Amino acid sequence: MSIIHIARDYPHPPQKVWRAVTDPELIPLWTSTGAGARPEGFAAIAGTRFRFIAKPKPGWNGVVVCEVLEVREPSLLRYSWQDEGGGEVTEVAYKLEPHGSGTRFTYDHIGFTGAGGFFMARILGTVRTKMLTKGLPAVLNDLDDRGTLRPESPLGPKPL
């Protein structure tokens, strides 16, 4: 079985990191360094079924269906992950813990099997590493102490 395991330390409190990774308005800002997925119907409540919608690519319509399996705010979010076209159901977990004066964020994506699963884990692992190394820190740095995106942030809505 193949897994994706990424741990990153951020100089921000767990509650701020939690907000960045669970607020549907903020999620697309840090996933934009990957496939740019936005959650549709997401709430950090166990049993919530939702979809991640990304830009389609050849052989993939860009939609992943998920269900929130477990929530312990602000330390754990677990959800299922399955391509809308079918295939194996895998599981994603976000674990947050205080670390020094900040937060250690651990991303685990498990359940990939066979050669196809190995290939998928490699592709997704590269994308997730970029999102958690570049995308999420940029969002965290542009949030104020209440977890609100600063008005001057270049990540916010663009004027028409």
Least confident of 4-8, 72-76, 121-125, 138-142: 121-125
Cα-only R_g, the chain: 15
* Cα separation, 52 vs 65, whole angstroms: 7
Give the residue ranges of DSSP H helices in 8-160.
14-22, 27-31, 114-130, 136-141
- Size of the chain, expressed as the number of residues it contains: 160
When pLDDT is averaged across residues 59-75 and rounded to a whole number, the result is: 94
Q: What is the mean pLDDT of residues 122-141?
A: 94
Rounded CA separation 138/5 (Å): 21
d(C-alpha 18, C-alpha 72), whole Å? 10
Mean pLDDT of 3-13: 97
Checking if the pLDDT of 159 tops 70, the result is no
